[in-house]
């Protein structure tokens, strides 16, 4: 790449650097001295309100950031992404999670093929499975209706469905056969062992979710689950010819107790997943972007297919907004630019995600993968080391609980941190009992009061309250921590879909500006290889001499403990 093609050498970047020199000295309270800031720095789309007024930006910052987005070719990149060009360069394929949420009437021709019919055929197949389970007609090998479904998957094959099923648990359809959905991801089997100790094998079905169908974490859990079922269900039950119950063989167990979800039908078949139980998706859907299709089966099972389609519709509304809204009103672009400003110009490299709604308990964990696995990169698309920072360290927790945990650091620590506050405006409207509804609504109001108070205190510091005289130094709040607030009309399938799509697109815009590929994850591969080699040493007790001193010491300590 030529020096002049580097984004940090562009006039827009240089202008931002010069401007940042001045802005670093400006406190947020000074920016709020000019009225009209909320109106100028907040936008609405797809049921979401985005308030960026508490970012350390002036009108000039905003204009310069928009110029940077134009200089980096963001408008063109958006079109290329949504039109299915091969934006995932290192793997030479498109990144078409947005195709999974296109309505049936749409067409998306990519390299000569309209993708929409296949997407909707998979949705129809999911619907048939969900309806069968909800009708109590999906029976285990002994004839009893399935009552528990355990999703075995990790990373994108776990975090998205886990987060959404938790967030939308209020949207369970009524009047259907009850099916409890559980998640087991950890390779050590601790979650699975717990389920196996309390679930009934006769009524338990496993969804084996793995895009690659090679992930050892998931396959280890799957093998344990399969053997648990074989051990408890496979039996000979006499002469089936006289009307008595038939034998239960391994094939029957596989057909009645396993669904597979993967981009590799061959590997699903090799593993023994019956063909009608195979749900497919495509290589052009990244793992962490995959909850919108077959990987979303647990979501559809919890909320029903109509609500699952609502989730897709909300995400599609955000996709449309992303494609058509001018940059200055485009929510994903604006959110991305706020992050770029903090990371690259104000040196704020920590980002906290703080939902003020218990249903969003897993949202931060989901975003940790989405943002850090996508943009935790230090090599550009041209193979050069990025001379600037990329993805910040991102972590989070439910805001109200985090207030009693790490907010101390946000308010008085030494690290500058960008915070995202997320909350629904309305809640509990449908609680039937009047007294309980009134109490819960008051709790919701209390939660919003805390949300608004915390972002205000982070912004203003001591100036947030009227007090006479200075406070002692250990009680002082310096403020000036930037934050974004995102309000949802209410937490529903459509607004949640829009919220997730907003962050997906934010990640893409940032990657475009940084010149990196957000759709690969080579940084996780070598660890898997080395773990495989290490496991061989642990199992065979051979080859320890190849290890470094620390690893040798740890392994020897382990062997000594095992000998005790
Ligand atoms: O190891 C990282 C990763 O490949 C993620 O990108 C992915 O979401 C996860 O593992 C699970 O992968 P798979 O769905 O192929 O099992």
Q: pLDDT of 39-86, one tens digit each? A: 999 999 999 999 999 999 999 999 999 999 999 999 999 999 999 999
Query: Torsion angle of alpha carbons 44, 47, 53, 58, nearest 10°?
Result: -30
**Distance of alpha carbon 102 from alpha carbon 384, whole angstroms:** 36
**Does ligand 1 come within 6 angstroms of the Cβ of 298?**
no
- What's the pLDDT score for residue 224? 98
H/E element, 512? helix 493-514
**Does ligand 1 come within 6 angstroms of the Cβ of 281?**
no
- What's the pLDDT score for residue 244? 53
- What's the pLDDT score for residue 238? 54
Residue nearest to atom 9 of ligand 1 (CA): 155
Q: What is the DSSP letter of 263?
A: S
Residues identified as active-site: 373, 404, 528
- What's the pLDDT score for residue 1? 53
- What's the pLDDT score for residue 240? 46
Instruction: For the chain, list residues with pLDDT below 50.
Output: 239-240
- What's the pLDDT score for residue 469? 81
Residue 325 sits at φ, ψ, to 5 deg, of: -70, 140
For the entire predicted model, the pTM comes to 0.96
Nearest-atom index, ligand 1, CA of 290: 8
Q: Residues 348, 340: contact at Cβ < 8 Å? A: no
**Distance of alpha carbon 84 from alpha carbon 106, whole angstroms:** 14
**Does ligand 1 come within 6 angstroms of the Cβ of 156?**
yes
Nearby residues of 77 by Cβ (< 8 Å), 6 or more positions away: 87, 508, 509, 512
CA of 284 to the centre of ligand 1 (A): 14
CA of 287 to the centre of ligand 1 (A): 6
Nearest-atom index, ligand 1, CA of 524: 1
Mutate to test the pocket of ligand 1, among 211, 377, 520 (most ligand atoms within 8 A of CB): 211
Return the CA Rg of the chain: 26
Q: Residues 484, 335: contact at Cβ < 8 Å? A: yes
- What's the pLDDT score for residue 4? 57
Nearby residues of 92 by Cβ (< 8 Å), 6 or more positions away: 86
CA of 286 to the centre of ligand 1 (A): 9
Q: Residues 503, 370: contact at Cβ < 8 Å? A: yes
Angle of helix 59-71 relative to helix 493-514, nearest 10 degrees, comes to 70
**Distance of alpha carbon 259 from alpha carbon 275, whole angstroms:** 9
Residue nearest to atom 10 of ligand 1 (CA): 155
């Amino acid at each position: 790449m030529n020096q002049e093609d580097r984004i940090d050498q562009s006039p827009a970047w240089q202008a931002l650097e010069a401007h940042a020199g001045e802005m670093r000295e400006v406190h947020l309270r000074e920016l709020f001295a000019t009225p009209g800031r909320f109106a100028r720095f907040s936008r609405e789309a797809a049921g979401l309100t985005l308030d960026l007024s508490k970012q350390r930006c002036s009108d000039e910052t905003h204009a310069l950031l928009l110029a940077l987005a134009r200089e980096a070719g963001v408008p063109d990149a958006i079109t290329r992404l949504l039109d299915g060009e091969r934006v995932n360069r290192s793997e030479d394929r498109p990144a078409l999670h947005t195709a999974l949420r296109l309505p049936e009437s749409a067409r998306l021709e990519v390299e000569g093929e309209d993708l929409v019919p296949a997407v909707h055929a998979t949705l129809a197949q999911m619907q048939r499975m969900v309806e069968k389970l909800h009708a109590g007609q999906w029976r285990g090998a002994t004839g009893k209706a399935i009552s528990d479904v355990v999703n075995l998957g990790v990373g994108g094959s776990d975090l998205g469905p886990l987060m959404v099923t938790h967030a939308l648990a209020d949207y369970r359809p009524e009047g259907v056969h009850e099916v409890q959905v559980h998640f087991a991801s950890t390779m050590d089997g601790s979650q699975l062992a717990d389920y196996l100790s309390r679930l009934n094998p006769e009524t338990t079905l496993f969804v084996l979710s793995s895009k690659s169908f090679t992930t050892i974490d998931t396959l280890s859990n799957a093998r344990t689950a399969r053997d648990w079922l074989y051990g408890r269900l496979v039996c000979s039950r006499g002469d089936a010819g006289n009307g008595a119950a038939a034998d239960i063989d391994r094939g029957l167990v596989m057909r009645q107790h396993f669904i597979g979800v993967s981009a590799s039908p061959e590997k699903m078949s090799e593993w023994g997943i019956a063909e009608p139980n195979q749900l497919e998706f495509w290589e052009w859907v990244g793992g962490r972007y995959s909850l919108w299709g077959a990987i979303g089966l647990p979501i559809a099972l919890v909320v029903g297919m109509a609500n699952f389609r609502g989730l897709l519709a909300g995400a599609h509304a955000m996709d449309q907004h992303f494609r058509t809204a001018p940059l200055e009103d485009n929510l994903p672009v604006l959110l991305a630019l706020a992050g770029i400003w903090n990371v690259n110009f104000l040196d704020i490299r920590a980002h906290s995600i703080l939902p003020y709604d218990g249903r969003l308990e897993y949202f931060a964990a989901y975003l940790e993968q989405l943002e850090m696995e996508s943009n935790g990169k230090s090599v550009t698309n041209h193979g050069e080391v990025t001379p600037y920072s990329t993805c910040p360290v991102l972590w989070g927790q439910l805001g109200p609980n985090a207030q009693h945990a790490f907010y101390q650091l946000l308010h008085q620590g030494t690290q500058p941190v960008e915070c995202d506050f997320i909350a629904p405006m309305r809640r509990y409207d449908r609680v039937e009992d009047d007294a309980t509804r009134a109490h819960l609504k008051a709790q919701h109001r209390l939660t919003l009061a805390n949300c608004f108070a915390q972002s205000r205190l982070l912004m203003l510091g001591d100036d947030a309250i009227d007090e006479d005289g200075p406070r002692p130094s250990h009680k002082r709040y310096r403020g000036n921590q930037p934050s974004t607030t995102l309000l949802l009309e209410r937490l529903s399938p459509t607004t949640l879909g829009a919220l997730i799509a907003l962050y997906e697109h934010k990640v893409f815009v940032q990657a475009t500006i940084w010149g990196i590929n957000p759709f690969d994850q080579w940084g996780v591969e070598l660890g898997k290889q080395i773990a495989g080699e290490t496991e061989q040493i642990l199992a065979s007790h051979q080859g320890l001499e190849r290890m470094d001193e620390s690893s040798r010491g740890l392994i020897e300590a382990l062997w000594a403990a095992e000998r005790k």
